[in-house]
Amino acid sequence: MSESILSATAVAALFELPFADLLYQAQTVHRAHFDPNRVQLSTLLSIKTGGCPEDCGYCPQSRRHGTAVADEPIMDLDSVLEAARRARAAGATRFCMGAAWRGPKQKDLDPVLAMVRAVKALGLETCATLGLLRDGQAEQLKGAGLDYYNHNLDTAPEFYGEVITTRDYQDRLDTLGRVRGAGLNVCCGGIVGMGESRLQRAGLIAQLAALDPQPESVPINMLVRVEGTPLEEASSLDPLEFVRTVAVARICLPKSHVRLSAGREAMSDELQALCFLAGANSIFYGDKLLTTGNPEADRDRALFERLGISPAQAVGA
């Protein structure tokens, strides 16, 4: 499929294909751009947890929600480096640092810049997700050695207001523009299973595909329903619909790394295998994703061995 701008209706037509035909098309696109038996490994660490002023309906770190997540101050540099060394020893090639802010003030950003420099010196690719960026902050991160900045669109524009009211869609696009303008790689995806329709899932992928250039990394998150959040009672998404979402993302974002992210803890090995067949070629690797669980590294390594998959080496833009 062309990388020109796609409508949500055109993307939705891919969702309607017979399952075997959709996976065949996705696998064909995947093989044209990637080794189908290589998966990139990233590890995500919450360097500052809880207390976020935003009202994102899925997030246990919002201070507006009554969850069990405790507010924690920003981690010290030595603790972050210890976690990064463990991630490197376990085979991760990218280390992502996340902080629960609406956006960092300069006093918040300064210690993160030191973390980026130190993690980069370990030979790892670096990624950060810090919320909305102000003018000049992306350039500071780039100067410190940051490789990727994560800022998700979360869902389609027409469903966004059902999930978040404290920032709008344009806020997210503006931050992505600042990231691109600073020469950073973009990590941008979304969350499915929040009550959106199939057409709205297609709308999210259409928005991601319309970013120019398209994101280097596209995390596809399955909603983790956390007690105390507004979405704790959301209906579970059909697992095969999740596979379809991965396949459609692969077709519409042919050169992006499509990452299995939140929700993997609840996925069977068989479901993950179908996702790899559908074109997923990156995972978050380790025992925790910010504040929610993630399959342990040993389980992932065992699954890779069964599937004949090898971890990819560090990837550039």
Q: Choose the catalytic residue: 96, 188, 252, 275.
A: 96
For the record, the structure tokens of 1 come out as 């499929």
Active-site residue 252, yes or no? no
Q: Choose the catalytic residue: 94, 127, 172, 264.
A: 127
**Closest alpha carbon to 171 in 194, 149, 141, 151:** 151
Q: Choose the catalytic residue: 94, 172, 178, 187.
A: 187
The helix or strand, by DSSP H or E, that contains position 218, with its residue range, turns out to be strand 217-222
Active-site residue 59, yes or no? yes
Phi and psi torsions of 92, nearest 5°:
-70, 145
Q: Distances from the Cα of 236 to the Cαs of 25, 37, 168, in angstroms?
A: 26, 29, 26
Active-site residue 187, yes or no? yes
Q: Choose the catalytic residue: 56, 188, 252, 275.
A: 56
**Neighbour tally for 49: CB within 10 Å:** 20
Q: Choose the catalytic residue: 59, 188, 252, 275.
A: 59
Q: Choose the catalytic residue: 172, 178, 244, 259.
A: 259
Q: Distances from the Cα of 284 to the Cαs of 44, 53, 88, 265, in angstroms?
A: 7, 26, 13, 11
> Exposed (0-12), middle (13-18) or buried (19+): which is 120, by Cβ within 10 Å?
middle
**Closest alpha carbon to 251 in 5, 11, 41, 20:** 11
Evaluate whether 282 touches 40 at the Cβ level (below 8 Å): yes
Q: Choose the catalytic residue: 52, 188, 252, 275.
A: 52
Residues with catalytic roles: 52, 56, 59, 96, 127, 187, 259
